[in-house]
Amino acid sequence: MQTNNATNFDEYIVAFPAEVQKKLIELRTAIREEAPKAEETISYMIPTFKYNGALVHFAAYKKHIGFYPAPSGIAVYEEELKPYKYAKGSVQFPLNKPLPIELIKRIVRFRVKENEAKSN
């Protein structure tokens, strides 16, 4: 369920059932609010936001949405991510629970600042 042949975010999102689409749109909107200058692209066959390099990625799976904010985005918020399955650079948000939008926004803000610092 993760990848499809989408060439843009809209094509990617509409390939999923309505309840998954709703969560993907919610996630996309939250990221866009925190990173309004980020470019939307498909990379590794999944939606990717780029801002001074890769910012965050996401993908839909059968039972969760994968969110990929790089290892630094996981490490800084590891304590708050403990309720979720996570690894070095990824976290899984179950489809049967609400997305932690405020946490996602904080992670994206952190990644924006991190990528801005790299370019200065």
Instruction: CATH number of the domain at 25, please.
Output: 3.90.1150.200
CA distance 67 to 60: 9
For the segment 13-52, what is each residue's pLDDT rounded down to a tens digit? 999 999 999 999 999 999 999 999 999 999 989 999 999 9
For the segment 101-119, what is each residue's pLDDT rounded down to a tens digit? 999 999 999 999 999 998 6
Q: Is residue 4 part of a domain?
A: no
Q: Do 25 and 13 meet the contact criterion of CB atoms below 8 Å apart?
A: yes
Q: Give every CB contact of residue 96 below 8 A, 6+ residues apart in sequence.
A: 63
Residue 71 belongs to domain spanning: 9-119
Q: Is residue 65 part of a domain?
A: yes
Buried b (16+ CB within 10 A) or exposed e, 81-115: beebebeeebbbbebeeebbeebbebbbebbbebb
Q: Count how many domains the chain has.
A: 1
pTM of this prediction exceeds 0.75: yes
